[in-house]
Structure 1
């Protein structure tokens, strides 16, 4: 530690007694400081799992119409992805933009919502 620096006192996450922020474990109860990386990774994995469960439960793919709607959305996404390619010239990009917009219009007319 450099001269003039002081350690902060924080509450132990387990026993709540004050300990140094630099202490690897609590001198009172022995609890080890939780790893920030572990906490971050567990939180991230939890969010991904929750999103996946939501996506699966909210998407009804059992009916042919639902599958058709999903395929139409995927086709529109692929169209815009192709339109954004760096290798296309301005005329090709403009043509593809018109195609993608036409696909979106048909989707909106058929399903009553934007893709």
Structure 2
């Protein structure tokens, strides 16, 4: 109300006059400095990088690559843990080598 002397919310005195320079920010406006802007920009860049990474990782080709990589890894573990005859171990090792070769042909990467 125009006749109010105290603010009904915070009880501050409304009779005090505050001079605000023309064209300047209001006292309640807080401006972000250059360091704050850089930090916000970095946070936005990180968020975009992570969002793009999750999108790329969920492609069908990437899922196939991960499955093939897991198969190669399990094959290597099988060779390492095999305790039977040497002939059996060599057969498993050869199968793993062929699996790795197929992985390289399909994805162009080492598993």
TM-score, structure 1 normalization? 0.47
Larger Rg computed on CA atoms: 2
Considering fraction of residues, name the structure with more helix: 2
Greater RCO (Cα-Cα under 8 Å, separation 6 or more): 2
Considering fraction of residues, name the structure with more strand: 1
TM-score, structure 2 normalization? 0.48
